[in-house]
Chain A
Amino acid sequence: MSNQVIDLLQKLRQAAINKGLQALISYHEEDSYLMRFANSAISLNTNEHLISLDFIAFDGRKKVSYSMIADPSEIESMEKGLDILVEMLPHAQALNYDPTFPVYEKDVVDERSYDPTLAALTNEERLAYFNTLAAGLESEDVKLSGIFSSGTTITAQISTATEHSQYFRSTDAQVSAVLSSESLKWEVNAEQSAQKKSDLDAEGLHKDLALLVKHYQEDEAVQLPVGKYTVVLGPAATAELSNIMAYYGMTGGALMQGYSFLKEEDQGKNLFSEKINLVDDPREVEIYAQQADRFGLERKPFPLITEGRFQAFMWDQDSADEFKKNPTAHDVSHASLVMDGGEKSVATLKDLLEMPREEDILYVPYIHYMNVVNPTQGMVTGSSRFGALFLRKDGSVQVPYNVRLTQKFSDFFGERVQWMSKEQVAYNVSSSYGRRNPTALKVPRFICVKEIEISHSNPSY
């Protein structure tokens, strides 16, 4: 497969050279499958096979780009994209800094995240997976929703500077299964991220769903009073918070644009709980890591937070060029963030429920529609969703109506952190807007944080 792609890139490279262009040529191919469930039926079964090309032409400080979803059988139409760059380039405005032109010094072929058995997953297998995870849990009132998204993504780059190229291929799956009450409107979920077929565990999801459905059907529903709670975050909540925090707070671009809640002088300071270690780790195959960035820089583990100390900002190539910084191999479509586990063994929701507790605990597995209220303060807001539980000190369990949390990143990951699970899970945060871009984080199964403020509490489901 890599030969076909690289052959195409070599042809396009030669065409670019023939047209007098200094160009970066990027290739993206996706073979995507998505089975969607709603109201206990398959509401949509879809697949898309798309090939995209991105050309960027450089002329000193001038830069223009052309993107296309291409028909692989029409090389001429692809080459026309290069002609458009030739037309655009004279009209471009020069930047006030020198953009880096990528020069690949060696060939890179990285297929560590590719699993042929996941790539070959069939419709029948996707359906069987969902039938297993939902077995015995549906009823007239309790309905199954969800997605089983899986696919193969190929990205590759070449530039006119050398004949060397980069080629990356990965497989991924993202499963989200929801059981909801049609009459009461409660909803619980279980999710899974997979990089290889053997990661798929429908039985595991079934256990989680069965436990949550039991509590939602049998336990008392409550409207929690607003105020401060000791909160246990599930992996979805932790992954989304970490991802947004890294994007808004820890990139050089956000820093220079004034949107980061961190400042340049914060590097090296203890700003988070000493329990927190966060690293961008390109060795983590299960979260779709890549060996090199788009400009050919080798990716290495990049600590962001070490024992609570903020280490450094991530610099993509363009921001580094503009602000005269050293790029940190972060010209990537996604980072590979890993938050270390803690010391407490709490591997499952059942473990969490069975833990002795000295105070009431609000379990928030998922934060819906998180948005940044004030980026320079690092303040976010969002609502609980998908299976929150209120674990009473006396051992009983209540089902809280959804609540709103409006807090700073430093509230979630600062000194208020009480404990973290030793066990980590991969959580898939991929969106399918635009091109397939499998993205996941590896985070502790649970993080317990005290004094998290609930600013609003729903009066019903």
Chain B
Amino acid sequence: MREKLKEQLDQLKAKGAHYVDARWYPREDSNFLFMWNGNLKENNASSQSGLGVRVLYNGAWGFSASSDLSNPSAIFDRAFDNARIASERVTFPIRLAEKEAIVDSFNSPNQIDPFSVGLDEKVAFLQKMDAALNQPGVVQRFGMLEFVRKQIIFLDSEGSEIEKNIIEVFPSIHAMGVDKDGGMQRRKYLPGRTGATRGWESINETDFLANAERIVSELNQVLVADDAPNGKMSVILLNGIMFLQTHETIGHALELDRILGYELSFAGGSFVRLEDFGKLRYGSEKLTARANALEPNSPGSFGFDDDSVPAQDNLLIDKGILVGAITGRQMVEEANAKAKKQIFDGSSGANRATSFYRVPIERMTNINIDPGTDGSLDDIIANTKYGLVLDGDKSWSIGSNREQFHFACDIGWLVEDGKKKQVVKNPTYRGETLPFYNSLTAVGNESTWQVYYVENCGKGAPNQIMQLGHGVPICRFDNVQVGE
């Protein structure tokens, strides 16, 4: 098959294509188990295979994909024809940033392939979790296990040839109960990534059982709690909400395709402008953010992106100043040309597609916040006059340019005079992105830092779901509007 694909790459080059790449997925497997209130409602296996071809012709992209591999040349021809038509409406002819031709491979670090683990063992895990969650106060409970294994062969007309073998696991448990006012409340546990691997071995049963006990206990406190207060106050975001705050208002805001207007018809743009790089005070000096695709245990690490650019660790925000973006080969060239100066020194290796039948676009890798020097959670609370500790992503809604946001959390704890007090329910907060990050007054140390995964980040047209990660510490923001 590889030889057939190479022949097709050569043929399209000969027909005038500037660049061609092919992503062949010989096989992608997934396995999803879902136990709700003791019932194994989903016990699903799936597989897919196919080919996606991207062609750059006269400054425009064409793409075609099919699961029918009986005639691969037809897929190449359709992609070429799509590019030919697209080239009839070009305003800025697409150029690709330089890169080396790479012949290499990437295997995600795993000790135990989850597909080698028997179904009985997986079901037994969920049954244990179900039993642990089946406690007084819990009226609904569920556990999920999702496993993905994909083999991707990438070839391009510049001589790159990369094979990737990636395994991911996504476990979680959830407990729900009815509060004193009749509202449904929820606590959940998605484990932070620890260790250097991401196979079946990363699912630690002891850890899950301890956290099942914790979330049931917290849920029962929420069920009898009063509503969170309204007004302006400090919020201390635990990892279970800080990862999403980072995702929505740093990650998406700094995708270069959004900044350049390539997502305006769907996901939206960004308040960031090209002239902001190197100058914009995004946050306080305590804020340093990076796109680190080298975290070993996260789905945001993939070896090489779908432009065949190697994974990297790049600063995005350095002590509060905006310095970088999430980029691929096409967008950095256009950004530099539009800015009439070199803002970006090559691709940051973040162009990814969710499957063989989608085209790569700028996606987050691991968008992390560096740990700070403000100590542990207890230290941060001790230095807080009045506010809320918040955890759990209940809902999120963000402005189309990522300029403002509204989050609801699963649980809050009141903080008064440096002391953590009672639990409160239905906490929400909102803000404008730049004032919010400039009110960052405390960043927890390494002990508070954890990598969380996101398995369902949506973007693009046609829409794509992507998996990635966020390594974040506990952070405190002051003067935040709470309770709307």
Contact = CB atoms under 8 A, between A and B. Distances in A.
A433 B465 CA distance: 7
Interface in B16-46: 35, 38-46
Interface string B90-133: 11100000000000000000000000001110010001000000
Interface string B69-109: 11000000010011101111111100000000000000000
Interface string B254-272: 0000001111111011010
B60 A45 contact: yes
Given A180-B261, A187-B400, A374 B408 contact: yes
Contact of B461 (A127, A149, A368, A458): A149
B82 A45 contact: yes
B182 interface: yes
A404 interface: yes
A130 B87 CA distance: 14
Given A69-B50, A406-B406, A63 B61 contact: no
B462 A34 contact: yes
A211 interface: no
For the residues of B in contact with A, the DSSP-based class is: mixed
A41 interface: yes
Contacts of B40: 92-93, 95
Contacts of A257: 140, 176, 184
A92 B60 contact: no
A38 B262 contact: yes
Interface in A178-214: 178, 180, 182, 185, 187, 189
A69 B48 contact: yes
Contacts of A381: 395, 397, 406
Interface string A115-127: 0000000011001
B395 to A, nearest CB: 4
B398 interface: yes
A145 interface: yes
A47 interface: yes
Interface string A418-461: 00000000000001111000000000000000000001101101
7 contacts: A39-B92, A39-B261, A45-B85, A50-B67, A95-B41, A375-B184, A433-B458
Nearest to B248: A369
B219 to A, nearest CB: 13
Contacts of A434: 465
A373 interface: yes
A2 interface: no
B68 interface: yes
For the residues of A in contact with B, the DSSP-based class is: strand
Contact of B67 (A35, A67, A71, A143): A71
Interface of B: 35, 38-50, 60-70, 78, 81-83, 85-92, 118-120, 123, 127, 139-140, 176, 178, 182-184, 260-266, 268-269, 271, 357, 359, 394-401, 403-404, 406, 408, 426, 428, 430, 432, 458, 461-465, 484
B67 A91 contact: no
Contact of A433 (B85, B265, B463): B463
Interface in A196-235: none
Select the residue from A32, A46, A88, A406 with max chain B CB neighbours within 10 A: A46
Nearest to B70: A73
A414 interface: no
A123 B120 contact: no
Contacts of B404: 383, 404, 456, 458
A348 interface: no
Contacts of A34: 461-462
Interface in A276-312: none
Select the residue from B81, B178, B461 with max chain A CB neighbours within 10 A: B461
Contact of B39 (A36, A123, A322, A368): A322
A185 B272 CA distance: 11
A70 B68 CA distance: 7
A84 B45 contact: yes
A370 B396 CA distance: 8
Contacts of A68: 46-48
A123 B81 contact: yes
A72 interface: yes
Given A39-B91, A42-B90, A402-B399, A91 B430 contact: no
Contacts of B67: 49-51, 69-72
Contacts of B263: 38
Interface of A: 32, 34-51, 63-73, 81, 84, 88, 91-93, 95-97, 123-124, 127, 130-131, 143, 145-147, 149, 176-178, 180, 182, 185, 187, 189, 257-259, 318, 322, 368-377, 381-383, 385, 402, 404, 406, 431-434, 455-456, 458-459, 461
A182 B91 CA distance: 14
Contacts, number: 253
List of 10 A-B pairs having minimum Cβ-Cβ separation, nearest first: A69-B48, A67-B46, A91-B119, A42-B86, A45-B82, A46-B63, A432-B462, A45-B86, A123-B85, A145-B264
Nearest to B45: A66
B262 A39 contact: yes
B134 to A, nearest CB: 13
Given A39-B261, A69-B48, A431 B42 contact: no
Contacts of B118: 91
Contacts of A149: 461-462
Contacts of B60: 41-42, 45
A432 B85 contact: no
B261 A143 contact: yes
Contacts of B432: 458-459
Contact of B68 (A71, A187, A318, A375): A71
A388 B458 CA distance: 25
B397 A370 contact: yes
A44 B44 contact: no
Contacts of A178: 264-265
A43 B262 contact: yes
A321 to B, nearest CB: 11
A184 B63 CA distance: 32
Contacts of A131: 89
Contacts of A64: 43-45
Nearest to A63: B43
Contact of B397 (A46, A143, A383): A383
B265 A37 contact: yes
A185 B274 CA distance: 13
Contacts of B359: 44, 46
Select the residue from B81, B264, B265, B428 with max chain A CB neighbours within 10 A: B265
A103 to B, nearest CB: 22
A381 B182 CA distance: 21
A366 to B, nearest CB: 9
Contacts of A180: 261, 264, 269
Nearest to B356: A69
Select the residue from A147, A375, A376 with max chain B CB neighbours within 10 A: A376
B397 to A, nearest CB: 4
Given A46-B462, A383-B399, A38 B264 contact: yes
B321 to A, nearest CB: 21
Contacts of A71: 49-50, 67-70
Nearest to A254: B184
Contact of B265 (A41, A147, A368, A372): A147
Contacts of B92: 39, 41
A382 to B, nearest CB: 6
Nearest to A382: B397
B46 A318 contact: no
A96 B265 CA distance: 46
Select the residue from B176, B399, B426, B428 with max chain A CB neighbours within 10 A: B399
Nearest to B179: A376
A98 B31 CA distance: 24
B156 to A, nearest CB: 18
A187 B264 CA distance: 8
B91 A73 contact: no
B75 to A, nearest CB: 9
Contacts of A402: 399-400
B85 to A, nearest CB: 4
